[in-house]
Structure 1
Amino acid sequence: MDGGHDVQKGLRAFVSHIAEDGRIELVRDHLREVAEMAAEFARPFGAEGWAYAAGMAHDIGKYSPEFQNRILRGGRKVDHSTAGAYELFEHLNAKLLAYCVAGHHGGLPDGGSSADVDGGSTLLSRIDGARQGELPDYHAFADEVELPIAGKLAFRMPPDPKDGFALAFLARMVFSCLVDADFLCTERFMRGGAREQLSTEGLDALRERLEAKVATFYPPKTELNETRCSLLDACARAAEEAPGVFSLTVPTGGGKTYASLRFALRHALAEGHGMRRVIYAVPYTSIIEQNAAVFREVLGERNVLEHHANFDFDDAGEDGDALRLATENWDAPVVVTTNVQLFESLFANKTSRCRKLHNIAGSVIVLDEAQMLPTKQLLPCVRALAELVQRYDCTVVLCTATQPSLDGLFERYGCSVREIAPDPQGLYERLRRVSYRFEGAVEDGDLASRLAAHEQVLCVVNSRKQAKRLYDLVAGDCAEGAFHLSTLMHPVHRERVLKEVRRRLKGGEACRVVATSLVEAGVDVDFPVVYRALAGIDSVVQCAGRCNREGRRDVQESVVHLFEPAEPYALPADVRQKAELARLVLRGAGIDVSAADEPCDVGSLEVIAAYFNQLHEIRRDRLDASGALADLELLRVSGGAPCIPFKDVADRFRMIEEGSHPVIVFDPRISDDLAAVREGRAMRGAMRRLARYSVGLYDNDLEVLKAAHSVELLEGDTYVLLDGDLYHEDTGLDASDAGGKGLFL
């Protein structure tokens, strides 16, 4: 028997899903609902015909007797995805859509070739298998389902058929519509009703809330507030301009959070724009948490979706479940997320990552701290943003104090960059908070003495080893008020130290902090004096933002001292190259880098532009280090079909290179979560909470701990520290302490 029986119509009933309460959903009903919902999702970018066709074809393989035996009687698993892909590929000449249908469960496959011997994992090998009669007979679908004819598969702005990247991007966007619709329709049937939705407000209501907040800043009563208000006014004016790519160059203290949000909301709602949401992408979770807190306070809790690994939905009260569900497809008016989440999704092939993509269309995308885009993935990121602007009705805002000189790269892909701030150089002069001095090479002992001589001072260095050594020296010279911050301390520990640091700074107490670069962006602290080991110009300027942050001190007395460590410390190649380039740029600006106490205007827009221009020139052959963009642009054709390496590119494209292993440090507050993971009964959020007590260790240090039997493998690549004596309250985890112990085991 091919299926169940539809008594009312006297026809065979082909079943798609069976709910726990026994309700049956027919395949034809599921196909129609998915097709209609997918088409609606694709309407904002004019691909509704494509999405509808994918929706109607995606499950026609369920018409086979083998699948019906599987769902009705628990028979063996059956491939039901290839049938629809084959129909689209072979009979409708919709070869891009074939990728979407073939991958609607396992993810977009590589194109491959019909000659592949891969067990049917590539699209062309699966199509070839269908040609050879390897699929169960699914042709009963023709009695109930009519697939659209090829002529109706129009796209509002069709890409050049020779533009491999644009074709792949379109396929991924349609795939997003299909898999999101498939998931939501299936979920709705199985639950017996639609999921709980966030009760959000429209962008117009959010704009009114923001404008009410902004109105309290007027009329400005101080010179600083006058500058901030002038920037807010510039953002309001620029918001009326046509969508595209904008830069917002705002030095520390200029109020860029409110300014960028004002531009984004006004721009989204400007006449003729019709945009649907605002997406903030930032490099660090610390910045996300600060920005999201500001946005929630002004716009309302339910209107802001915070999507990153550290957000605990269990702490979000009654909105937790709805917020968690909204992260699956970014169904919220304001989304605050990470660069990793945004860009890796744009190059992903898995259904879970791609579901949200269709909701990016028609968005204002603000890249906060835009200089933090990794140079190794810069070209793919710029190309994806340009594609979103040109074909998916998006606007991009590059928001930072240190613009990474991306104008030329965007122009390569047909987008010009417009500056929102009317006078960036004047803004820089008005918001100048610090003066810079170059100190030349300084020994650790001398540096520690200088730090100890200040009541309140921040020192940032490039290596965790130097940070610990300097801290030990400073702590030895000072009875109190010495602090250490590095990624050898787990996040909860760092937050505890930062809380005490802020308390002491505010109270005027002794506070000498030695840290790595983790304090440079997104950490709200205000020191009268800062020392910074020479690094990239962007890092130096970001670090300077921790000095005289509130502008209460004289500029000439708020000094950022740049120095070079006299002792050799091993540094990552990336950090070393950027420091060397900074030295060249400073020398080119007429600064004697060999002299001590040499004034230098590191934060000038000219120096920043020269630095990024030279950095991109030096790395011009490594701006697409993974080859993701090159492989997508190089359109290979086999059997008359575009062979797109969706899976291969997704596997290789990473915004952050994997290089460390998480080691969890025991704390009584996570004992239950640890036990749950060990026993295989972990609930949602357990690993996320454990991550807040973990330290990332590189291979060498991890091997030392393994040799000393000081860690155990918990799950995947995550370890648990067994020897609590190796974690210190002042400096965190020190694997070197385990080296001696290992000799006696």
Structure 2
Amino acid sequence: MTKRLHSHPHLFLGEHIEQVKRALQGILKWHSTNTITPQIKELSEKVVCLHDLGKGTRAFQDYIADPPKYKGDPGEKAHTPLSLVFSLAYARDEGWEELETLLLAAVVKGHHSRLPTIPEKKIGGVGSAAWDIDNFAGGERARILINQLNLIDYNALIKEAGIDFTNITKSGELSKDSTKLLLIAKKLLINKVIPKFLNVDIDEAVDYRLKTQLVFSMLLEADKAFLAVSNPEQYLNREVKDWQANWVDQYIGTPSDTFTNHLRQKARFDIDDSINQNENNKIYSLTAPTGIGKTLLAATWALKLREIISAASGTTPKIIIVLPYLSVIDQTAKIYGDLLKTGGVNADGAWLLTSHSLSDREYADWLEDEDKPFFVDTWRSELIITTYDQFLMSLMDPRSRYQMRFHNLCDALIIMDEVQSLPCKLWQPLDKIFKSLVNIGNSRILMMSATLPPFVSEAKPLLPAFETYFKKFERYKLCFRLESKLSLEHFCDELEDRLPFWLKDKKRVLITLNTRKSARKIRDALDSPVLKESGYPIYFISADVTPKDRLAVIQKIKKGNPCIVVSTQCIEAGVDIDMDIVIRDFAPLDSLIQISGRCNREGEKERCTVVVVDLVDENNKSYAEMIYDPTHLQSTRRLVDNISEIFEEQALDFANRFFKELAIKKDTGGIHLERFARWREDLPVHEILRGKEKKQYTFLVIDQDPSLKEDMAKANQEEDRWKRREAWRELAGRIAMVSVSIYARPQFNPRQIAIEHLGHWLLREGYYSNNRGLLVEGETMIL
């Protein structure tokens, strides 16, 4: 009697494949027939049978019988390379089309790591790159595969997998020379499959990449569903939550009779009309002045369109809200939570889920604790609020940990706020990828900003006459003092001279600097005896302040009382505060317009002033040049040269001219688009988005969460490595909330100011102040 093969210690391979099939059918039901075409359905079902064929080796069966006690060669137990070879052999035997073969081979090879790369032309035939799809036919990998092929019970494998290898074995390719099978598989790739792929145009290549990611994503989730949760049927049964568009109306109620509120209401009426007239559009833009209420306008768009799509197709799209900054996520999550309260809903993760580094990883009280991580990681919610980083990695990063979420981006309503913060080198990739996503994935995308870059050419304005809204607002004017540079010392003197007048007139003043060092110096200069005697509060917001303190400060500022706020640029976009006076160190034009949105936001005062100065340090070096791209700064200087003032009504025109100039002068990411479409290795998505990370030291202000140290110790004591990893992940949000980071010179030793604890630095007493943030002197370089 043939001995059965296992896929997991407690599970036969055939049982696992049947479970993955059942899970896949559940996931397919979450999507529309526009997304799950007959081709996608067929490919997804094929890959379920192929993905674990390599588990039939003797080494893998020895390993899976008792994984902790396995002493053999780790390479011998690896199953994905062999699964790839079997898949290619079976594809050749069955006569599958070349592009289908490549898709299935890539998904099989990558399902425990990442999607593979397509080999680039090599000089002299030098070996394959680490992730190339064809790197199995030479060297050590080939030796291992040959050993594996010679030690398989093919009858048992055929029985478990339900795939017949009879033709392969009859041809003698396995019995006589296992090397021959590897060469045949590689020749199929190199001579037929890859040339066919490289011959398609760029648009078709992007479409093909997203189709591959869709199949990959659904397999990744289906492969784990029966293993990761205690009640898979509950997990796979999507109970659509009835988010209602009329909750927005109820939440707004009857606003006060102000000019700004009249414009907000008009914008909502215009968007209603636009939705009804353009419901079949797929990519929208919302360009509108700051303070118009874009968050609620976007909610109106998403919830109304969701109802329309659900009624027409029977498939209810998820809503995914993408934001660039963690501070804005907290604010946005509160608004959507309030919408649920307005509707009388006690929200849990099935209704609303936040996904970012500060998330608490909670889901719902009715769910078993051990099930919550999988529900959170797979975005099992009707509305997800996440960061640019998480969204773009789910969209573009080849690694399986991010790709498991990709299918959630299909049949979705995606709101991207503050898109002006995207770097220019993502413009070309996102133009093509967004167009492909709405085509292949049947999604809708709304891009929002007060200064919208024109990088997606087919976007339909949600407010067709958006220019008129800019012309109606008269809340601020930008005043430029750029004729000469101003030292930080002289700037401090100026501010100290103006301080008594601000106190007398009870002004709300925002001073925004470009570096933490300059912001700290201004904050300390203003915190004078005159200010202290008046009882006037001064608030400090920068990366030197823990997220916990920053959020608390923002809530204090929002109360509307007179105060002085000194900040870095982290307060620019999306933070809804209303100030009387704004002073800003020089920056690119989009940043200047964004910070202006914090000035007279409600429009209840006469036109207020945003003063722009050009600060330099003691070496006459511009603080702006320490932080910003020189092309952005030069373009801004050219636009405002010989101009002393820009009124709010003119801001849109200046912003359009600014972005047009960037589109000509900047790298808009053609190489990144090409590498994405052709499956080449590229820079990490996070690096394209944020730039190359400098070495940092991160310190925990442990007094802000006294029980955290003990909980860290408990997490570290978990014996099971998976439980230990999840315990640390559950603490990640708490750790981040009380953390501050600095860039340090090589001679800086963190032990001077902190104690090491389980891989983290706990800041010593006296090096942090709730009012001033991180207090470090000496060799530490804080920009």
Report the TM-score when normalising by structure 1: 0.82
Contact kept, 8 Å, 2:394 with 2:403, in 1: the verdict is yes
1:570-601 Cα deviation digits (max 9, x unpaired) = 443525543332221123xxx535xxxx4545
Q: d(CA) in 2 for partners of 1:459 and 1:728?
A: 20
Match of 2:584 in 1: 532
Question: Which secondary structure state, in structure 2, belongs to the residue aligned with residue 270 of structure 1?
Answer: helix
Contact kept, 8 Å, 1:248 with 1:398, in 2: the verdict is yes
How far the C-alpha of 1:365 sits from its partner, in A, is: 0.9
Q: d(CA) in 1 for partners of 2:742 and 2:600?
A: 34
How far the C-alpha of 1:329 sits from its partner, in A, is: 1.6
Q: d(CA) in 2 for partners of 1:257 and 1:232?
A: 11
Q: d(CA) in 1 for partners of 2:58 and 2:692?
A: 47
Contact kept, 8 Å, 1:288 with 1:336, in 2: the verdict is yes
Higher deviation after alignment, 418-427 or 480-489: 480-489
Letter in 2 for 1:216: G
Match of 1:64 in 2: 57
Gaps of 5+ in 1: 1-9, 20-24, 150-157, 636-643, 741-745
Match of 1:664 among 686, 699, 715: 699
Question: Which aligned pairs between 1:631-710 and structure 2 lie closer than 5 A?
Answer: 631-633=675-677, 635=678, 644-645=679-680, 653-675=688-710, 677=712, 680-681=716-717, 683-684=727-728, 685-700=730-745, 703=746, 705-706=748-749, 709-710=752-753
Match of 2:433 in 1: 384
Q: d(CA) in 2 for partners of 1:465 and 1:120?
A: 43
Q: d(CA) in 2 for partners of 1:604 and 1:650?
A: 31
Q: d(CA) in 1 for partners of 2:761 and 2:24?
A: 42
How far the C-alpha of 1:537 sits from its partner, in A, is: 1.7
Question: Which aligned pairs between 1:171-320 and structure 2 lie closer than 5 A?
Answer: 171-188=212-229, 191=230, 193-194=231-232, 197=235, 202=240, 205-210=242-247, 213=250, 216-217=253-254, 221-240=257-276, 241=278, 242-270=280-308, 272=312, 274=315, 276-299=317-340, 300=345, 301-302=347-348, 303-313=351-361
Match of 1:83 in 2: 82
Question: Which aligned pairs between 1:392-431 and structure 2 lie closer than 5 A?
Answer: 392-406=441-455, 410-411=456-457, 416-431=458-473
How far the C-alpha of 1:375 sits from its partner, in A, is: 2.2
Match of 1:611 among 658, 664, 668: 658
Q: d(CA) in 2 for partners of 1:566 and 1:86?
A: 62
Higher deviation after alignment, 54-63 or 676-685: 676-685
1:434-463 Cα deviation digits (max 9, x unpaired) = 233223344312244335531321111112
Match of 1:330 in 2: 379
Q: d(CA) in 1 for partners of 2:431 and 2:84?
A: 31
Contact kept, 8 Å, 1:537 with 1:611, in 2: the verdict is yes
How far the C-alpha of 1:57 sits from its partner, in A, is: 0.7
1:550 aligns with 2:602: yes
1:716-737 Cα deviation digits (max 9, x unpaired) = 6x53334x33323432224324
Higher deviation after alignment, 72-81 or 226-235: 72-81
Question: Which secondary structure state, in structure 1, belongs to the residue aligned with residue 467 of structure 2?
Answer: helix
Q: d(CA) in 2 for partners of 1:666 and 1:116?
A: 51
- The change in CA–CA distance for 1:95 and 1:246 in structure 2 (over 3 A counts) is same
Match of 2:15 in 1: 29
1:502-535 Cα deviation digits (max 9, x unpaired) = 44x33xx4x1122111111232322111111221
Q: d(CA) in 1 for partners of 2:427 and 2:761?
A: 32
1:106 aligns with 2:113: yes
Match of 1:578 in 2: 632
Letter in 1 for 2:328: I
How far the C-alpha of 1:278 sits from its partner, in A, is: 1.0
1:637-658 Cα deviation digits (max 9, x unpaired) = xxxxxxx336876686554542
Question: Which aligned pairs between 1:6-45 and structure 2 lie closer than 5 A?
Answer: 12-19=3-10, 25-38=11-24, 41=27, 44=32, 45=35
- The change in CA–CA distance for 1:181 and 1:211 in structure 2 (over 3 A counts) is same
Question: Which secondary structure state, in structure 1, belongs to the residue aligned with residue 705 of structure 2?
Answer: helix
How far the C-alpha of 1:609 sits from its partner, in A, is: 0.5
Contact kept, 8 Å, 1:173 with 1:358, in 2: the verdict is yes
How far the C-alpha of 1:661 sits from its partner, in A, is: 1.8
Contact kept, 8 Å, 1:434 with 1:559, in 2: the verdict is yes
Letter in 2 for 1:258: L
Question: Which secondary structure state, in structure 1, belongs to the residue aligned with residue 321 of structure 2?
Answer: strand
Match of 1:743 in 2: none
Letter in 1 for 2:134: L
Q: d(CA) in 1 for partners of 2:237 and 2:509?
A: 46
Q: d(CA) in 2 for partners of 1:725 and 1:657?
A: 32
Q: d(CA) in 2 for partners of 1:566 and 1:134?
A: 67
Letter in 1 for 2:425: K
Q: d(CA) in 1 for partners of 2:147 and 2:337?
A: 54
Question: Which secondary structure state, in structure 1, belongs to the residue aligned with residue 334 of structure 2?
Answer: helix
- The change in CA–CA distance for 1:731 and 1:199 in structure 2 (over 3 A counts) is farther
- The change in CA–CA distance for 1:185 and 1:116 in structure 2 (over 3 A counts) is farther
Match of 1:152 in 2: none
Contact kept, 8 Å, 1:704 with 1:735, in 2: the verdict is no
How far the C-alpha of 1:331 sits from its partner, in A, is: 2.0
- The change in CA–CA distance for 1:483 and 1:269 in structure 2 (over 3 A counts) is closer
Q: d(CA) in 2 for partners of 1:200 and 1:49?
A: 22
Contact kept, 8 Å, 2:356 with 2:386, in 1: the verdict is yes
1:483-507 Cα deviation digits (max 9, x unpaired) = 322111111222333344344x33x
1:592 aligns with 2:643: yes
How far the C-alpha of 1:179 sits from its partner, in A, is: 0.8
Letter in 1 for 2:387: T
Q: d(CA) in 2 for partners of 1:196 and 1:450?
A: 64
Contact kept, 8 Å, 1:704 with 1:736, in 2: the verdict is no
Higher deviation after alignment, 373-382 or 598-607: 598-607
Q: d(CA) in 1 for partners of 2:17 and 2:683?
A: 30
Letter in 2 for 1:143: K
Q: d(CA) in 2 for partners of 1:358 and 1:524?
A: 33
Question: Which aligned pairs between 1:473-492 and structure 2 lie closer than 5 A?
Answer: 473-476=525-528, 478-479=531-532, 480-481=535-536, 482-492=538-548
Question: Which secondary structure state, in structure 2, belongs to the residue aligned with residue 495 of structure 1?
Answer: helix
Question: Which secondary structure state, in structure 2, belongs to the residue aligned with residue 341 of structure 1?
Answer: helix
Higher deviation after alignment, 51-60 or 663-672: 663-672
1:55-90 Cα deviation digits (max 9, x unpaired) = 111112223333333323554451222233222223
Q: d(CA) in 1 for partners of 2:372 and 2:249?
A: 26
Letter in 2 for 1:83: L
Identity of aligned residues (%): 20
Q: d(CA) in 1 for partners of 2:385 and 2:437?
A: 18
How far the C-alpha of 1:378 sits from its partner, in A, is: 3.0
Q: Give the count of matched residue pairs.
A: 677
Contact kept, 8 Å, 1:107 with 1:349, in 2: the verdict is yes
How far the C-alpha of 1:291 sits from its partner, in A, is: 1.1
1:446 aligns with 2:526: no
- The change in CA–CA distance for 1:126 and 1:661 in structure 2 (over 3 A counts) is same
Q: d(CA) in 2 for partners of 1:512 and 1:198?
A: 52
Question: Which secondary structure state, in structure 2, belongs to the residue aligned with residue 454 of structure 1?
Answer: helix
Letter in 2 for 1:101: V
Match of 1:628 among 643, 662, 672: 672
- The change in CA–CA distance for 1:733 and 1:576 in structure 2 (over 3 A counts) is farther
Question: Which secondary structure state, in structure 1, belongs to the residue aligned with residue 134 of structure 2?
Answer: helix
1:191-223 Cα deviation digits (max 9, x unpaired) = 4x32865998636x21255355268359x8554
- Compute the RMSD of aligned alpha carbons: 3.4
Letter in 2 for 1:581: S
Letter in 2 for 1:110: T
Letter in 1 for 2:738: Y
Gaps of 5+ in 2: 166-196, 718-723
How far the C-alpha of 1:607 sits from its partner, in A, is: 0.7
Question: Which secondary structure state, in structure 2, belongs to the residue aligned with residue 180 of structure 1?
Answer: helix
Contact kept, 8 Å, 1:108 with 1:349, in 2: the verdict is yes
